[in-house]
Structure 1
Amino acid sequence: MIILQFVILTVAFVAAASSIALSILVTLRVKQLIDPLVEEGAFKERPPGRNFSGTQIPDHVGVADLHGRPVDFPPSDPGPWILAFQSVDCSGCKSQLPAYRQYLEAQGVPRDRVLSVIGGGTDGIELYEQLIGEYSRIIPAGDQLTVAADLGVEFWPTYMVVGPDGTVSMSHGNAAELPRLDLEQPVG
């Protein structure tokens, strides 16, 4: 009888210890997943950032897309155009890609009038090409393209609607907040 009680207590102790160990492992895994998001500020409300309305977009020459094809910057086609600043290191940028794609698809803005400048190096830029490359020229940011710095863009993502004269009519940090565009009427 004493042996049976000892076995039952041992099994109960092992089960309790296993439960505690499993709880610790799950807690550590959740912490490992959440820490990068907390550091990036994913759980904080994003500061409003700069309002770029009325800002003139400077011309940039020698700009090439991800495939090395020349890009008119700003686009030479008449009408409004979209300029987006995103980064391969930005979880908020990646999480907004489906909404941005849906917006671009719904608006029907010609691909040559949608410029998505992607910072953070080329590792991971394929995701942008895969999800929005059909609707946007994907432009790797780098030493040759300083438009984000020239404009003072500090938050990613930043989306801008630009009129045919190169003046920003509105900017936002959320793709879901971009306005419906009337492609027949100039924005400005």
Structure 2
Amino acid sequence: MAFVVAGLVLVGALGLVNLLLLTAVIRRLRRQEEERNRPLESGPRPGQELPDFATTTLSGRGISRADLTGRPAVLAFLSTNCPACPALVPHLVAHARSTGLAADRMIVVVVGEVSDAEELTEPLAGVASLVVEPFPGELSAAFRISATPTTVLVDADGIVTHAEAGARPLEDMVAA
């Protein structure tokens, strides 16, 4: 009889240890899921002014911070070695066409070599002002871009209204 009681106590203790370990694993998985669903922080924070910058587009036109005041603008930062960046390109084109956003109000910065950037820049020709810069790029550093793709929405006063890393459609960002 003593062996049966000892066996039951042992099985009960093992069950309790198993339950505690399972609870700890579930808590850890929940924390990881929350961290994974949190958007990446990349770019200036909403409410901040655009940083000072000056650059030249692929067409040879100069662009600076002063050129982006007076009307809303969109800045998108892409990379030639980014697997998610090509997915954002159709969203940029669709947003420009649906809102009537002029090409000088949508700045697309591609980090990488010009020859490697054609996949990203070709569909945006005529829709956006295109800038290609080597890594690490001056614009990416000025805007504190830590992940690509990153999209920055700016109001007419040059104030950032939204900045987000990821290939989410711009219509969803504007609505947020």
TM-score of the aligned structures, taking structure 1 as reference length? 0.63
Aligned to 1:123: 115
The structure whose residues are more often strand, as a share, is 2
Query: What SS is found at the alignment partner of 2:152?
Result: strand
- Number of paired residues? 135
Quote how far apart the aligned CAs of 1:119 are: 0.3
Which residue type is aligned with residue 126 of structure 1? E
Quote how far apart the aligned CAs of 1:76 are: 4.7
2:41 is equivalent to residue 50 of structure 1: yes
8 A Cα contact 2:107 2:129, kept in partner: yes
Of the structure 1 ranges 105-114 and 76-85, higher mean CA displacement relative to structure 2 is found in 76-85
Quote how far apart the aligned CAs of 1:69 are: 2.4
Structure 1's unaligned 5+ residue stretches are: 1-44, 181-188
Point out 4+ residue stretches in structure 1 off by more than 4 angstroms.
none
Question: Given the superposition, is the C-alpha separation of residues 77 and 167 from structure 1 closer, same or farther in structure 2, using an over 3 Å criterion?
Answer: closer
* Coordinate RMSD, CA, aligned: 2.4
Whole-Å separation in 2 of the counterparts to 1:101 and 1:76 = 19
Whole-Å separation in 2 of the counterparts to 1:128 and 1:161 = 20
Quote how far apart the aligned CAs of 1:131 are: 0.7
The structure whose residues are more often helix, as a share, is 2
2:149 is equivalent to residue 178 of structure 1: no
Structure 2's unaligned 5+ residue stretches are: 1-35
Whole-Å separation in 1 of the counterparts to 2:123 and 2:92 = 9
Quote how far apart the aligned CAs of 1:106 are: 0.9
Whole-Å separation in 2 of the counterparts to 1:129 and 1:151 = 20
Whole-Å separation in 2 of the counterparts to 1:74 and 1:156 = 25
2:53 is equivalent to residue 60 of structure 1: yes
Whole-Å separation in 1 of the counterparts to 2:37 and 2:83 = 13
Whole-Å separation in 1 of the counterparts to 2:136 and 2:82 = 21
Of the structure 1 ranges 116-125 and 155-164, higher mean CA displacement relative to structure 2 is found in 116-125
Whole-Å separation in 2 of the counterparts to 1:174 and 1:76 = 23
Which residue type is aligned with residue 156 of structure 1? T
8 A Cα contact 1:159 1:175, kept in partner: no
8 A Cα contact 2:85 2:167, kept in partner: no
Question: Given the superposition, is the C-alpha separation of residues 53 and 104 from structure 1 closer, same or farther in structure 2, using an over 3 Å criterion?
Answer: same
Question: Given the superposition, is the C-alpha separation of residues 77 and 111 from structure 1 closer, same or farther in structure 2, using an over 3 Å criterion?
Answer: farther
